[in-house]
Amino acid sequence: MKEFDYVIIGGGCAGLSLAYELDIHDKLKNKTLAIIEPRKEYSKDRTWSFWKVSPHNFDDCVQKNWKNFSINVTGKTNHLKCDEYPYQSIDSGLFYKKINEKIKSNKNIFFFQNLDGINLRNSFIFNSVPSITKSPQDLWQHFCGVEIETQKETFDDHIFNLMDFDCEQRDSVHFFYTLPYSKNKALVETTWLSNMNDDSQKDYDYQLKHYLEENLKINNYKIIYKEVGAIPLFYPSYKREKNKINIGTAGGMTRLSTGYTFLNIQEHSKYIRENINNISEIDKFKIDKKYQYLDEIFLRVLKRNPKIMPDIFFKLFRASPKAVIKFLSNKSNFFEDLTIIFKMPKLTFIKALFN
């Protein structure tokens, strides 16, 4: 049986981010690391987007930055600025390539497709494979996006559309999201916040075609990439063990109100790297309790009152885009939290507060 000082289970976003962070800070000079990842080859399979509120290692994998965004509800559009915290999209294909090229040259890092023949008894384990038991109550953010190319110049690539609620809601919360990479290339996503109890919202191809042709009036386009995904808006079960830490989605790095996870993964990797020498002693890295609590109330409101959500998002961002961006990125101060809380419909939220 082979033994390693560290074992990362799952070489996806969190596993590779951590391996890279340890490698570039020379934390594996006298230690061995095994990465367990079933896929044989990596290719672009998702796009990670977020407001850049803190530095990360992957600026060279950014597909595009935006300093302006919009939100639509039927008949109204908010044009907003995010110049202080630009919105970034990372191409996962570039991310996988950059990390794999770098860490493959470290002779202390080993790659396996499964745990066969590996003795974990004396290793410290970083696990990114979530344990999810599906319950009909749980909320998910599920979506399908297509990157399209048009012959004519079609998009204004200075501004992205965060949420367009001008679409069928089907008793859930549904919006489209458009990231224009250039004047003739954009990622357009149909996104649902719902409990996914049936497949009736998964006619994604129809939704995208209808939106592109009827709302955006684009008829002549080619689909060059497609991504489908579902992000749990609840915490996967987590059993803390002395020689194991969960990372990524499995480690509770997702903001439940938004699904944003990428930057939290980067902050968690940094925290682990800084504490690697006494890793079994450190406190669990968590998204601040205040956000966990407020997200829980927010999702309770969303579950009970899906119809009012487009208006809530619209008004929220209009009040102070900067405060909302900082709040959704776990960086808000007390006054920014208050700005947000006061913008919520009071009675609805008070009811949710008391269950």
Ligand X SMILES: Cc1cc2nc3c(=O)[nH]c(=O)nc-3n(C[C@H](O)[C@H](O)[C@H](O)COP(=O)(O)OP(=O)(O)OC[C@H]3O[C@@H](n4cnc5c(N)ncnc54)[C@H](O)[C@@H]3O)c2cc1C
* 298 in contact with ligand X (CB under 6 A): no
* 262 in contact with ligand X (CB under 6 A): yes
236: left (phi over 0), alpha (psi -120 to 50) or beta: beta
* 201 in contact with ligand X (CB under 6 A): no
Residue 24 CB, shortest distance to ligand X, in Å, is: 18
Q: Give the E-state strand segments of the chain in sequence order.
A: 6-9, 33-36, 47-51, 62-66, 68-73, 76-81, 87-91, 109-112, 124-127, 140-150, 159-164, 173-182, 185-194, 221-232, 244-246
Q: Write out the two tokens for 210.
A: 């209808």
Among 249, 257, 266, 332, contact with ligand X (rule: CB under 6 A):
249
d(CA 15, CA 248): 8
Question: Do the Cβ atoms of 115 and 37 come closer than 8 Å?
Answer: no
Nearer to ligand X, 233 or 352 (CB): 233
Among 5, 149, 227, 296, contact with ligand X (rule: CB under 6 A):
227
Nearest to 128 by CA among 275, 269, 25: 269
Q: What number of chain residues touch ligand X (CB under 6 A)?
A: 29
Stretch that binds ligand X, among 40-48, 98-106, 235-243, 323-331 (CB under 6 A): 40-48
- Output the residue with the shortest Cβ distance to ligand X: 12
* 252 in contact with ligand X (CB under 6 A): no
* 37 in contact with ligand X (CB under 6 A): yes
Q: Write out the two tokens for 190.
A: 């149909």
d(CA 176, CA 165): 7
Among 4, 6, 7, 10, contact with ligand X (rule: CB under 6 A):
10
Among 4, 6, 12, 146, contact with ligand X (rule: CB under 6 A):
12
Stretch that binds ligand X, among 65-73, 208-216, 248-256, 297-305 (CB under 6 A): 248-256
Query: Which residues 77-136 are close enough to bind ligand X by CB under 6 A?
Result: 128-129
* 272 in contact with ligand X (CB under 6 A): no
Stretch that binds ligand X, among 56-64, 178-186, 216-224, 225-233 (CB under 6 A): 225-233
Annotate 90-125 with b (16+ C-beta within 10 A) or e (fewer).
bbbbebbebbbebbeebebbeebeeeeebebeebbb
Among 150, 191, 261, 332, contact with ligand X (rule: CB under 6 A):
261
Among 4, 7, 49, 109, contact with ligand X (rule: CB under 6 A):
49
Nearer to ligand X, 36 or 352 (CB): 36
Question: Do the Cβ atoms of 63 and 181 come closer than 8 Å?
Answer: yes
* 72 in contact with ligand X (CB under 6 A): no
> If residue 57 lies in a helix (H) or strand (E), which one and from where to where?
none
* 167 in contact with ligand X (CB under 6 A): no
> If residue 206 lies in a helix (H) or strand (E), which one and from where to where?
helix 204-210
Residue 20 CB, shortest distance to ligand X, in Å, is: 12
d(CA 260, CA 50): 7
Contacting positions for ligand X (CB under 6 A)? 9-15, 36-39, 46-50, 128-129, 227, 229, 231, 248-250, 259-262, 265
